[in-house]
Structure 1
Amino acid sequence: MKTRAALVWEQPGNWQVQEVDLDDPGPTEVLVEMVATGLCHSDDHFVTGDIHVGGLPLVGGHEGSGIVRKVGSEVHDIAEGDHIITSFIPACGKCRWCASGKQNLCDAGAIILQGDQPAGGFRMHADGRDVGTASALGTFAEWQVYDQTSVVKIDPTIPLDVACLVACGVQTGFGSATNAAEVRSGDVVLVIGIGGVGINAVQGAALSGAAHVIAVDLIEQKLDWARQFGATEGFTDIDEAVEFAKSVTNGQGADSAILTAGLVHNDLIGKAYWGIRKAGTVVITGVSPDAEDAPIPGFNAFNMAMFQKRIQGALYGMASPREAMPMLLREYQAGRLKLDELITHRYSLDEINQAYADMKAGKNIRGVVEFQKVAPVEQAAERELASVG
Structure 2
Amino acid sequence: MSKTPQAITCKAAICWGIGKVMVEEIVVDPPKATEVRVKMLCASICHTDITSIQGFPHTNFPMALGHEGVGVIESVGDQVTNLKEGDLVIPTYLGECQECQNCVSEETNMCATYPVRWTGLLPDNTSRMSVRGETLYHVLSCATWSEYTVSDANYVLKVEPTIDHAHASFISCGFSTGFGAAWKEAKVKNGSTVAVFGLGAVGLGAVSGAKMYGATRIIGIDTNEKKREKGEAFGMTDFINPSDSDKSASELVKELTDGMGVDYSIECTGVSTLLTESLEATKVGTGKAILIGVGTEHTLPLGLFAILLGRTLKGSVFGGLKAISDLSIVVDKCHKKEFPLQELFTHEVTLADINKAFELVKQPNCVKVVINMS
Q: CA deviation at 1:320?
A: 0.4
1:152 aligns with 2:157: yes
Query: TM-score normalized by structure 2?
Result: 0.91
CA contact (8 A) 2:271 2:295 kept: yes
Task: Give the aligned partner of residue 304 of structure 1.
Answer: 307
Determine if contact 1:52/1:290 at 8 Å carries over to the other structure. Answer: no
The equivalent of 1:23 in structure 2 is 29
Give me the whole-angstrom Cα distance separating, in 2, the residues matched to 1:264 and 1:161: 27
Stretches of structure 1 that go unaligned for 5 or more consecutive residues are: 373-389
Identity among equivalent pairs (%):
30
Give the aligned partner of residue 382 of structure 1: none
Out of 342, 345, 356, the residue aligned to residue 343 of structure 1 is: 345
For the 8 Å contact 1:281–1:309, the answer to whether it is kept is: yes
2:219 aligns with: 214
| In the alignment, structure 1 residue 4 sits paired with structure 2 residue 11 | yes
CA shift in 2, pair 1:121/1:92, >3 Å: farther
Contact 2:198 2:222 in 1 (8 A): yes
Separation (CA, whole Å) in 2 of partners of 1:31 and 1:22: 9
Cα distance between partner residues in 2 of 1:34 and 1:103: 30
Q: Which amino acid aligns with 1:8?
A: C
Please show how residues 1-389 of structure 1 align to structure 2 within 5 Å: 1-11=8-18, 13-49=19-55, 51-53=56-58, 55-100=60-105, 104-107=109-112, 112-237=117-242, 239=247, 241-261=249-269, 263-265=270-272, 267-278=273-284, 279-291=286-298, 293=299, 295-296=301-302, 298-300=303-305, 304-305=307-308, 307-372=309-374
Distance in 2, matches of 1:255 and 1:92, equals 33
| Displacement after TM superposition at 1:71 (Å) | 0.8
The residue type equivalent to 1:256 in the other structure is: Y
Cα separation, partners in 2 of 1:336 and 1:111, compared to 1, 3 Å:
closer
Contact kept? 1:63, 1:88, Cα under 8 Å: no
CA distance in 2, matches of 1:29, 1:333: 26
TM-aligned CA deviation for residue 234 of structure 1: 1.3
Distance 1:223 1:346, change over 3 A: same
Q: Tell me, what secondary structure is at the counterpart of 2:207? A: helix
In the alignment, the residues of structure 1 paired with residue 170 and residue 116 of structure 2 have an alpha-carbon distance, to the nearest angstrom, of 22
In 2, Cα distance between the equivalents of 1:334 and 1:69? 27
Give CA deviations for 1:358-377 in whole Å, capped at 9, x if unaligned.
212333211111112xxxxx
Tell me the TM-score normalized by structure 1: 0.88
* CA distance 1:271–1:205, shift in 2 (3 Å): same
- Partner of 1:321: helix, strand, or coil? coil
| Offset of residue 110 of structure 1 | 5.2
**Could you tell me how far apart the structure 2 residues matched to 1:225 and 1:270 are?**
25
Residues 111 and 176 of structure 1, relative CA distance in 2, 3 Å threshold:
closer
> How far is 1:247 from its partner?
3.2
Structure 1's 178 and 294: CA in aligned 2 closer, same or farther, altered over 3 A? closer
Q: Give, in angstroms, the shift of residue 338 of structure 1.
A: 2.2
- Larger deviation, residues 96-105 vs 276-285: 96-105
Tell me the matched-pair count.
363
- Change in Cα spacing, 1:240 to 1:188, as seen in structure 2 (3 Å) is farther
Counterpart for residue 5 of structure 2? none
Contact residue 2 and residue 21 of structure 1 kept, 8 A: yes
Contact 2:26 2:129 in 1 (8 A): yes
* 8 Å CA contact 1:31, 1:146 repeated in 2: yes
| CA–CA distance in structure 1, aligned partners of residues 228 and 204 of structure 2 | 9
CA distance in 2, matches of 1:77, 1:66: 16
Q: In the aligned structure 1, how far is the partner of 2:336 from the partner of 2:346?
A: 22
Q: Match of 2:327, SS?
A: helix
Aligned mates of 2:52, 2:255 — CA distance in 1: 40
Task: Please provide the CA RMSD for this pair.
Answer: 2.0
Structure 2 residue aligned with 1:381: none
In 2, Cα distance between equivalents of 1:369 and 1:241: 34
Helix, strand or coil for the counterpart of 1:77?
coil
Shift of 1:87: 0.8
The answer to whether the Cα contact below 8 Å between 2:195 and 2:264 also exists between their aligned partners in 1 is yes
Cα drift, residue 45 of structure 1: 0.4
Post-superposition offset of 1:5: 0.4
Are the structure 2 counterparts of residues 363 and 95 from structure 1 closer, same or farther at C-alpha, using a change threshold of 3 Å? Answer: same
- Asked whether the equivalents of residues 29 and 147 of structure 1 are also in contact (C-alpha less than 8 Å), the reply is yes
Cα deviation code 1:228-273 (max 9, x no counterpart): 1111111220846534432343321111111001x230x2111222
Structure 2 stretches of 5 or more lacking a match?
A: 1-7
Cα deviation, residue 103, structure 1: 7.3
More helix by share: 1
SS in 1 for 2:58: coil
- What is the distance in 2 between the residues matched to 1:247 and 1:236? 13
